[in-house]
Each structure stands twice: as structure tokens, then as C-alpha cells.
Amino acid sequence: MSSKMINPMNPWRLTIILLSVLSLISCDRDNDNELTVPDMDKPTATTQLTLENAPIMDGSDSTEPLRSLLMCRLLGVECQWYQKLATDGTWGVTPVWTTLSQGEKDAIQKILLNRNTHGSFVSLIDGDNDIIITARGISRDEQAYAAEKGVSLLSYPVAKDAFVFIVNPKNPVRNLTIEQIQKIYTGEIRNWKEVGGNDATINPYIRNANSGSQEKMETIVMNGLQMIDWPEMVGYVMLSPYYQLEQDENGIAYTPFYYYDTIVNDDRTQVIGVNSVMPGKKTIENNSYPYVTEVMASVRADVDRSSTAYQLFYQLAAGRHNAIVKESGYIVCKR
């Protein structure tokens, strides 16, 4: 983690307010006025976004299409979905570079960063980006780092996602209960036949500490239970679970639904149900799937209320850009 110092815009030490904010705000709140967020300061300016004044956007690997679409739609840049056939086969959104001058290309590359979930939070705390869109809120380690730096963040949900479990398609198991998942990851259940599958040892894959997936697993699934220490099962990138399960019929792993459904979008893995509810846009939207999550936009609490970063943050919170959120493939928050 970076240890460099920052110079906050406000000289006094800020307290961490993120947890209290998140305890009061969720995607399914009632808000009839699309452009008003009652629990947030209104921007003190209305500025047309340009390549020169656009805020630096950063965030999770899984939110890259949304960030790219926001940049393109708000700046009037032509963009398209594309599959990265030359590398990993995943899907993303890219500007149509052939329509842009070299200066425009350089500006866009400075605006759009992709330091992943943990890296983007650290960079926001350090003042190295302006607004982040992440698959989770701030982690415990990131809270501690923010407190050390005297920095506070503002966060708001802008879309709905889900935390899902995936297996090799040859694995006959298509549903697990919450208790079974917890026992697999504490080591109490070690054979698939104990949960209706083949007589084979379960290989439970995990993610690295502070990744968006690992933080969600520890906080919303394990809920205080101690996961067994499996260093040989750790994957360090978003595609790790997919590579691992492609080769392992007896594995299980976890990932954001949006990453599985929209970015990877292939048949190398199979998503399974939890408590007999399959994750999908309908069960995420109506919250019947057990592990519905929220995609968060975040800025520093000391951000200038007239800045384009704060204006965009407020507009996202107010639902002003829900059409772009929907275009990205995410489920919009109810307002």
C-alpha cells in the first residue's frame, strides 16, 4: 500500500463517515425527485464536461464498461463493445480510436484509469484520482489507511449486482445453501457427495486479500466465520476463478455476477443457485437472490462542490445517468 502523503483541501483532520453514510443509503430507497439527493450537498456549479475538465475516473475491473460508457456518452465520444480476442476473451467498452486525434486519445487515457478495487480506493485516498466506481464499498484495511491519512470518503450506490458462486460445467451441483457454502469454506464439508454431488474432494478457490471478491466473501457470506487458510487456492486477478475452474471439475469459486454474465460471458464456468434461487437480473432486481450487492461511486469528502468530479458523483447518486447504467448491463437502483 502506498505510503506517500497527501495535502487535503481542508487543513483539519476529517473523520471517517463512510460507514454511517452506507448504513442509511441503499439502492432500494424511495426518492421521487430524480435530481435531488436529500442526504447530500448539491453541487455549487453546473459545468459542461469536456476532455479538458473531466474528472479522472478509476475503479474495479468489473466496472470498467460502465466507466467507459459514462466517459463516452457524457463527452460525446463514439465508443463500442468489443471482445479482447487477442488476450483473454473478455468483453469491454472502448472509444473508437480511429475517430480521435492524438490529443483526444491522450486526454481519454488520462481520464480513464483501471487500478482495480483496492488500488482505486488507495489512489482516491492519496488524491491520485477524482471519482471511483467500484464493485464494493471501502474495505476495513482501506478505512484504516484513510484514517491514518486523515481522509474521509463519500460513497453512494449507483447500480445493483450480485455475489455469485461458480463451478465447472461438468459438476452436477446446481445449488447450495448458505450453510453449505459456509461449511465448504471453513473446511467442515470437504466432499461434493455431502452436498449432492460426485464422490470427490471439493477444491474451494479464494481471492487475494482486499480484492473486491474476497472482501465480499468475508463480510457478507462468511459473516464472521473463519475461512480455512488455503494459500495454494488463492487467485490474484479477476479471471483467476475462471482459469482455475476451467481445469478443475471439482472446484468452486466466487465472482461478481456482472463480471460472469457480461464481461466473461462464456461457458467455461456455470453459476449456481443459493438457497434454491438462481442469480439473474430478475432475482437481483427483486432482491430474492441472497447475495445482492451494490456498485458504489465514491469521492473524497473534501472534494470541491463545484468540481466536475462532485457534479458527476451527485448526478450518479440522483439517478441522472441511469440510462447509461442500464446500457452497461447493470441493474439500476430504484429511486
Write down the pLDDT at residue 117: 94
Q: In terms of Cα–Cα distance, which of 296, 313, 295 is closest to 304?
A: 313
E runs forming strands in 28-152: 57-59, 79-83, 91-95, 131-134
Distance between CA atoms of 93 and 64, rounded to whole angstroms?
8
SS3 142: helix
Segment 84-104 shows an average pLDDT of 96
Strands 153-167 and 270-274: antiparallel
Segment 8-17 shows an average pLDDT of 30
pLDDT of residue 17 exceeding 50, the answer is: no
Helices (H), 153-196: 178-186
Parse the chain into domains and list their residue ranges.
18-160+294-332, 162-285
Segment 76-104 shows an average pLDDT of 96
- What pLDDT, in 10s, does the model give residues 161-216? 999 999 999 999 999 999 999 999 999 999 999 999 999 999 999 999 889 999 99
Write down the pLDDT at residue 38: 77
pLDDT of residue 21 exceeding 60, the answer is: no
Distance of CA 48 to the CA centre of its chain: 27
pLDDT of residue 10 exceeding 50, the answer is: no
> Among all chains, which residue has been given the C-alpha cell 460445467?
169
Write down the pLDDT at residue 16: 34
Write down the pLDDT at residue 19: 35
Amino acid letter for position 291: Y
Write down the pLDDT at residue 7: 29
CA torsion, ordered 185, 237, 223, 165, to nearest 10 deg: -60
Least confident residue range of 2-11, 12-21, 203-212, 288-297: 2-11
pLDDT of residue 31 exceeding 70, the answer is: no
Distance between CA atoms of 236 and 232, rounded to whole angstroms?
11
Least confident residue range of 9-23, 71-85, 254-268, 296-310: 9-23
- Mean pLDDT, the chain, as a whole number? 90
Segment 84-96 shows an average pLDDT of 95
- What pLDDT, in 10s, does the model give residues 41-75? 999 999 999 999 999 999 999 999 999 999 999 99
Give the confidence band of 105 by pLDDT, cuts at 50, 70, 90: very high
Strands 234-235 and 206-207: parallel
Segment 295-314 shows an average pLDDT of 98
Write down the pLDDT at residue 25: 55
Q: Do domains 18-160+294-332 and 162-285 have the same CATH topology?
A: yes
Strands 331-332 and 153-167: antiparallel
- What pLDDT, in 10s, does the model give residues 114-140? 999 999 999 999 999 999 999 999 999
pLDDT of residue 229 exceeding 90, the answer is: no
| Percent of the chain topping pLDDT 70 | 90
Q: In terms of Cα–Cα distance, which of 2, 270, 9 is closest to 126?
A: 2
Distance between CA atoms of 267 and 225, rounded to whole angstroms?
32
Radius of gyration over every alpha carbon of the chain, rounded to an integer in angstroms:
20
**Contact criterion met (CB below 8 Å) for 208 and 214:** yes
Distance between CA atoms of 196 and 94, rounded to whole angstroms?
43
- The residue with greater pLDDT, 18 or 197, is 197
Class level of CATH domain 18-160+294-332: alpha beta
Q: In terms of Cα–Cα distance, which of 252, 187, 177, 179 is closest to 226?
A: 187
Give the confidence band of 29 by pLDDT, cuts at 50, 70, 90: low
> Among all chains, which residue has been given the C-alpha cell 491514518?
148
To which CATH superfamily is domain 162-285 assigned? Periplasmic binding protein-like II (3.40.190.10)
